Amino acid sequence: MNSRGRVTTVLLTAAALGAAGTGCSGQSPPTAASSGSGPATTSPAAPTGGRQSPPRSPVDASRSPGQTPATVTIAAVGDIACAPDDSDFNDGRGDGDHCRQAATAEAAASLSPDAVLTLGDNQYQDGRLDAFRASFAQSWGRFLNATDPATNRLWPVPGNHEYGNGDAEFAKAPGYWAYFNGGTEESPNPSGVAGRSYQGWYSRSIGSWHVIALNSECNSDTGVECGQGSPQYEWLRQDLAANESKCTLAFWHRPLFTNGKHSGSSAVRPLWELLEKAGAEVVLNGHNHSYERFPPLTSDGSENPNGVREFVVGMGGKSLYSVSEGGNPQSEARNDDTFGVLKLQLASAGYSWQYIPATFDGNGTFTDAGSDACH
């Protein structure tokens, strides 16, 4: 690892609550989905060049009517694949503490996850389609089945690098939509596994949970908005009002709360407020290339058992950023030297988490585990 200072805090809590369960079904969940400005079903997209996942049976297929859904396993991480022309790319294997996307993909695969949530900045530096095909597809593409959203296991959201990170040529994330939804950079398919192209918000059911993908790249260049009254805000409000699940998880790229290199994004606060009001349990973010776990929080950062617990999981392979102690709010666990993925097990009345380190010489050994009940 490099020589800069590291902060590692581990808080191991009790074994998963009975409500949170411990099993992994090893089968793919049903993916009833809605996306865009109103309720809709995501439509199949054309092949995009990623490795295709074999068809997997829905997780509820073996249940009798009325039986409690099985515990399902999710792997989540953001800030993943180096550009293929990166000096540390090394045929996708990486070097030192850069470009370790192959190792983190193996860590995710070892969990036999029912779904894989990628938390933005999937492909560096500007998310162009040829880079997705040459880098991301060779490691994380194994979870993608873009031709059939019903059996696809990879659920993405975009990050600032998909939007070119300030490069006007990529300000509408053309490579992201083309890779995940099919089509070309000039004309991606209207919708697919990434929701509606040029929007990127959608929701799906997994086990007994409601999972919501949102787009945090809210500015005039992208054309995406997060504020009250915006299409994304109104869609989320309606989606939450129609949600009948006891437990809800949301994920997007930029965190509201963080003690990492990049400051938190106040633009997403209105979305957090809707989730908090609806009693959501968990928010997952990336952007900072570090790991943090926060206690349940309200939108102003106050600890509250009825608040939403945030995880920042930006350790997908690109690089590592320092994370500081202290801060307001204070994270309960943090790390900046161990690439890996977050494992979540979602049960009918609760959830458990475990940070899974990637395996390669020189990686750290940090882990973090615990459990909580749904509101």
Asked if residue 330 belongs to a domain, the reply is: yes
Rg of the chain (C-alpha set): 19
Domain coverage including residue 57: 8-373
Question: 314-341 pLDDT, tens per residue?
Answer: 999 999 999 988 777 889 999 999 999 9
Q: Look at the alpha carbons of 164, 170, 172, 174 in this order and tell me if their dihedral is positive or negative.
A: negative
Question: What pLDDT, on a 0 to 100 scale, did the predictor assign at position 206?
Answer: 95
Q: How confident is the model at residue 310 (pLDDT cuts 50, 70, 90)?
A: very high
Asked if residue 1 belongs to a domain, the reply is: no
Question: What pLDDT, on a 0 to 100 scale, did the predictor assign at position 163?
Answer: 94
Say if residue 39's pLDDT is above 80.
no
Asked if residue 151 belongs to a domain, the reply is: yes
282: helix, coil or strand? strand
Question: Is residue 219 a contact partner of residue 16, using CB atoms and an 8 Å limit?
Answer: no
Classify residue 217 by burial, with Cβ atoms within 10 Å: 0-12, 13-18, 19+.
buried
> 284 Cβ partners below 8 Å, 6+ apart?
76, 117, 119, 249, 250, 251, 310, 311, 313, 342
Classify residue 30 by burial, with Cβ atoms within 10 Å: 0-12, 13-18, 19+.
middle
CA dist 346 and 354 (Å) reads 12
Looking at every residue in the chain, the average pLDDT score rounds to 85
Say if residue 279's pLDDT is above 90.
yes
Q: How confident is the model at residue 34 (pLDDT cuts 50, 70, 90)?
A: low
Q: How confident is the model at residue 2 (pLDDT cuts 50, 70, 90)?
A: very low
Question: What pLDDT, on a 0 to 100 scale, did the predictor assign at position 36?
Answer: 53
Asked if residue 2 belongs to a domain, the reply is: no
pTM of the model: 0.84
| pLDDT > 90: percent of the chain | 73
Question: 288-297 pLDDT, tens per residue?
Answer: 999 999 999 9
Q: How confident is the model at residue 105 (pLDDT cuts 50, 70, 90)?
A: very high
Asked if residue 335 belongs to a domain, the reply is: yes
Asked if residue 64 belongs to a domain, the reply is: yes
51: helix, coil or strand? coil
Question: What pLDDT, on a 0 to 100 scale, did the predictor assign at position 33?
Answer: 56
Asked if residue 3 belongs to a domain, the reply is: no
CATH number assigned to the domain comprising residue 107: 3.60.21.10
Task: Measure the CA angle with vertex 306, ends 303 and 311; round to 5°.
Answer: 65
Asked if residue 260 belongs to a domain, the reply is: yes
Question: Is residue 358 a contact partner of residue 323, using CB atoms and an 8 Å limit?
Answer: no
Say if residue 23's pLDDT is above 80.
no
What type of residue is 19? Answer: A
Question: 243-271 pLDDT, tens per residue?
Answer: 999 999 999 999 999 998 888 889 999 99
CA dist 254 and 264 (Å) reads 7
Helix (H) / strand (E) element for 276: namely helix 269-277
What is the count of structural domains for the chain? 1
Q: How confident is the model at residue 4 (pLDDT cuts 50, 70, 90)?
A: very low
Other C-beta atoms closer than 10 Å to the C-beta of 269 total: 14
